[in-house]
Amino acid sequence: MTSLSGLSQSQPRNAIIVTIQRESKQLRKLEFENRELKCALEDYQFVLELIMSKYRQQTTQLIKVEKVEIGSHSIQLDQNQQLINGLTNKVCEMANVMNKAILIDETNALKEQELMAQLKLENKALRDLLLVARTSGSLNQVSDVNKTE
C-alpha cells in the first residue's frame, strides 16, 4: 500500500487531473464523433432503402411491360399464324380447283380424240363407199339423175 501511495504521491495531483481532463475531452470528442457516425449510418441506410425501393418499383414495372409486350407479341404471332393458315387453305382450294380443271380438260381432250378417231373412221368408211360406188358405176348414175333434175 505504501508503495502504491508512494507512486501516486510521486506524480503530482495536478498532472493526474490534467491527464484525466485531456482523456475526458478525447472521450467527449469520440462520443460526439460516434453520434455523428451513427447519424451518417442511419442516413446511408435510409438512402439505400429508398434506392432499393425505387429499384424494386422499376424492376416490377419492367416485368409488367415485358409481360404486356410478350402478350402482344404472342397475339401478333397468333394473328400471323391464322393468316398463314387461311392463305394455306386458299392455296389448297385453288390447287383442288386446278386439279379438277385439269381432269375436265383431260376428259374433254380424250373425248375430242375419240370423236376425231370416230370421224376419221367414218370418213375412211365413206371414202371406201365412195370408191366402191365409183368403181361399180352407181355414182355416175346418181350424178346423171341429179344433173337431169
Task: Please report, in tens digits, the pLDDT of each residue of the chain (149 residues total).
Answer: 566 555 555 556 666 667 777 788 888 899 999 999 999 999 999 999 999 999 999 999 998 888 888 777 778 888 888 999 999 999 999 999 999 999 999 999 999 999 999 999 999 999 999 999 888 887 665 555 455 45
- And the C-alpha cell for 54? 425505387
Considering only CA atoms, give the Rg of the chain. 61
Question: 137: which DSSP letter?
Answer: T
Vertex 20 angle, CA 14 and 24, to 5°: 145
Residue reference for cell 401478333: 76
Residue reference for cell 495536478: 14
The number of folded domains in the chain is 1
Between CA 129 and CA 121 the distance in angstroms is: 12
- And the C-alpha cell for 55? 429499384
Give the residue numbers spanning the domain of 47: 2-148
